[in-house]
A and B are shown apart, each in its own frame.
Chain A
Amino acid sequence: MKAAELAIQRPRDAKLLVVDAGGALHHAPRARLADFLRAGDLLVANDAATLPASLAGVHQRSGAGIEVRLAGRRSLAVDDVREFTAIVFGAGDHRTRTEDRAAPPDLRAGDGLALGPLRATVLRTLDHPRLIALRFDGTPDAIWAGIARHGKPIQYAHLSEPLALWDVWTRVAALPVAFEPPSAGFVLDWQLLAALKARGVGFATLTHAAGISSTGDAALDARLPFDEPYHLPAATLRAIEDTRERGGRVIALGTTVTRALEHAASRNGSLRAGEGVADQRIGAHTPLRVVDAIVSGTHEPGTSHHELLRAFTSDALLRRAHVELLQRGYRTHEFGDSVLIERRGSGHCADRRLRPRGQFNKALN
C-alpha cells in the first residue's frame, strides 16, 4: 500500500473497508463509519495523548549526537516519570528512514545523556545496542516540563513535514502517556461522537500507553509491541457489561484498545477495571473474550498490528481484504485509511451464545 504522506487526521476522501462477520467486503467513505455501528453497540477508544517522545541530544562520554525515542514505562502514574525504556539512534532525524539511521555510540550503564534541558543516565542496556533503560534527573514536574519543551513527536520518513503535537493528539486525547499516537482514533471528531449518541451507540475510553511501531532494526522489531501499561476505568467496564447484557457489540477503536481489553479479560478469566500491563501477543490463535469488532488502520501483512487482526477473521479473508486495499488505492500508516473487521461469526446470535463467557458472566453478577 502507498503511505499517507500528509499529517491530516480526517482527510475528506478517507476510505473504510468493512470486513463483515459473514465474510463479505464493503467499501465506504470513512465518514460513514457510524452507519456500520448499531444501536446498543459500544465503541471503545484509547484516550492517551501522545508524548513528544523524540529527544535530540548528546551522549556525554563520546560527545556524539543522538536521538532518544522514549518507548516504554512501567506504569501510567504521572509521578512515575523518571525511568523509561528507550530506543537510541545516532545523529540524524526522522528524514532518514529508520532502517538507514546511524547506530548510536557505544552505550554503557552510567553514561550521561544531555537532552535539551533534560539530563538522564543510562541505567543499563537491554540486550541490544539500541535499547536502553534510562533515568531522568529532577522532580516529576521538571521532567514533564523538559519533555514538553524539548520533545518532538516520534516521526518516520514517509512524512516529510515536522509533526507538531496537535497533529498527533486525537480529539479525545487526555493523559499524555502514548509514545506514538493511537492513530485509529484519528477518525474521531465531536461530530462523530454526536452521531454515535444520536444512533444509540455508546462511547467509552481506556488509557493505553501505545508504544512505538517500528525501530528500523529487524531484531528489535521482532520484540514489538513492548509491554504497555493501561488503565481501564470502572465506568468503561460498566459500559462493556451493559453492552454485553443487552446483546450489543464491543467495538475496539484500534489495536491498543484490543490489546488492553483482552489483557484485562485474561486475568482470572474475568474483565476487571484498574491498572494493568498488556504483555501478551495477539494472533491467529488468540481467543477474543471481549472485543467483537475492530476499527483499525490498514496494516501490511507481517507487522504485529496485522498479526492482531488474524484473531478476528480467517487468513483467507484477510488476504482478500488486502488485495482489495491494494486495488482500491487505500493508504497505509498512521494518517491512512481504515478497516472495520467484525469477528468471524459475531453477527449471529446463536454463535454469540456459544462463546466461552461463563467466567465473564461471573464478573457481571
Chain B
Amino acid sequence: MNNPLIPFDGLRVAVTGGTSGLGLALVKALRERGAQVAFVARRVPRVSEVAHQLSGTHGIGGDVSRKDETHPLALRITAALGGLDVLINNASSLGPVPLALLADTDCEQLEEALATNLVGPFRLTKALLGALSAAAREGRPARVVNITSDAAVTPYAGWGAYGASKAALLHLSRIWDEELRPHGVRVLAVDPGDMDTPLHAQAVPDADPATLKRPQDAAQEILALIERSFDAPGRGA
C-alpha cells in the first residue's frame, strides 16, 4: 500500500455486481479512499457508463454465474489492477422474481440463485486465489469478502432459493477462511442488512425506502469491517 495510515490507498480491489445498489456504493467508496478498483457487471453499456462516470475505475463486462467467463474475468481483473488484494463477491440473484414459496420455485430458478450466489463466487475466488495469495506473500492484506444476508441464517418464507444459496455461501466462507488463513488470505462473510437497492425492490416492491439502510452507509460499514480485519492476525503471510 502507498500509505499504511490510509488502509485503502493503493489497495487493488475487485467488486462484482458493481453497477448498482451496494456494489456501486462500494466502488464509489473505495475509489474515494484511494483504492484501485475494477468492477464486474453483466450489462456492458451500463459498465461503460459507470466506468466513464467514475474515472480511474476499470469496468469489466461479464457474468459471474457462467463457468466459461470465470477465467477471462480473472484475467481482466488482474490485468486491470496489476494483481489483486481484495475480492468482493457482491453480485447476487434472488432466484424467482417475484419471490416464490420453495414448492413453487422452479429447479432452474434455484440453480440460477446457486450459480450466481454460490458457485460463481467459488469459481472466481478460486481463479483469483493465485493473485490473492501472491499479495499475501508480499505482506499485503489479501481478503475475500462475500456478501451474504440475514436470510442465510433466518428461514424467511418466500426466500428459499436466495436464503439457501446465501447460507451455503456463508458456510463456504467460514470453511475457506479456516483453510486459507495459514496462507495469509482471509475470507469474510458480511451481512449488509436490508438496503434500498434494486434487488430489494424486486424482492419487496412495497417496502418503504425510509425504513431501509442506504447502500452508501452499508458500504462504509463494510469497508470499516474490512479495515478491522487488517489488524487481525492473518494480515500478510
Contacts and interface: CB of A to CB of B under 8 A. Distances in A.
Interface of A: 47, 49, 51-52, 77-78, 81, 140-141, 144-145, 147-149, 164-166, 169-176, 190, 193-194, 197, 204-205, 207, 233-236
A148 B84 CA distance: 17
A49 B130 contact: yes
B206 to A, nearest CB: 40
Contacts of A149: 72
A148 B60 CA distance: 11
A170 B126 CA distance: 11
A257 to B, nearest CB: 14
B76 interface: yes
Given A78-B82, A175-B78, A175-B82, A166 B131 contact: no
Contacts of A47: 130, 134
A47 to B, nearest CB: 5
A217 to B, nearest CB: 29
Nearest to B135: A174
A172 B75 contact: no
Interface residues of B, number: 31
Contact of A166 (B71, B83, B138): B71
B137 A204 contact: yes
A205 B134 CA distance: 7
Contact of B76 (A144, A172, A235): A144
Given A166-B127, A197-B182, A174 B134 contact: yes
A205 B82 contact: no
B83 A148 contact: no
Nearest to A233: B138
Given A164-B68, A171-B130, A194 B80 contact: no
Contact of A169 (B59, B71, B133): B71
Interface string B40-71: 00000000000000000011110000001011
A205 B237 CA distance: 13
Interface of B: 58-61, 68, 70-76, 78-84, 127, 129-131, 133-134, 137-139, 179, 182-183
Nearest to B38: A141
B80 A144 contact: yes
Contacts of A165: 71-72, 75
A174 B131 contact: yes
A193 B133 CA distance: 11
24 contacts: A47-B130, A47-B134, A49-B78, A78-B78, A81-B79, A141-B58, A144-B75, A144-B76, A144-B79, A144-B80, A147-B75, A148-B73, A148-B76, A166-B71, A170-B130, A171-B129, A172-B134, A175-B82, A175-B83, A176-B75, A193-B183, A205-B137, A207-B134, A233-B134
Given A148-B79, A175-B82, A176-B79, 13 more contacts: A49-B78, A51-B75, A145-B61, A147-B75, A165-B71, A165-B72, A172-B130, A174-B78, A176-B75, A176-B78, A197-B182, A233-B138, A234-B138
A49 to B, nearest CB: 7
Closest 10 CB pairs of A and B: A165-B71, A148-B72, A174-B131, A174-B130, A173-B130, A174-B134, A172-B130, A144-B79, A176-B75, A78-B82
Contacts of B134: 47, 172, 174-175, 205, 207, 233
Contacts of B61: 145
A147 B80 CA distance: 13
A205 B138 CA distance: 10
B83 A235 contact: no
Nearest to A177: B79
A66 B179 CA distance: 46
A238 to B, nearest CB: 10
A78 B68 CA distance: 23
Most buried by A among B61, B133, B134: B134
A175 B129 CA distance: 11
A145 B127 contact: no
Given A81-B79, A193-B183, A234-B138, A169 B72 contact: no
A205 B137 CA distance: 8
A226 B235 CA distance: 38
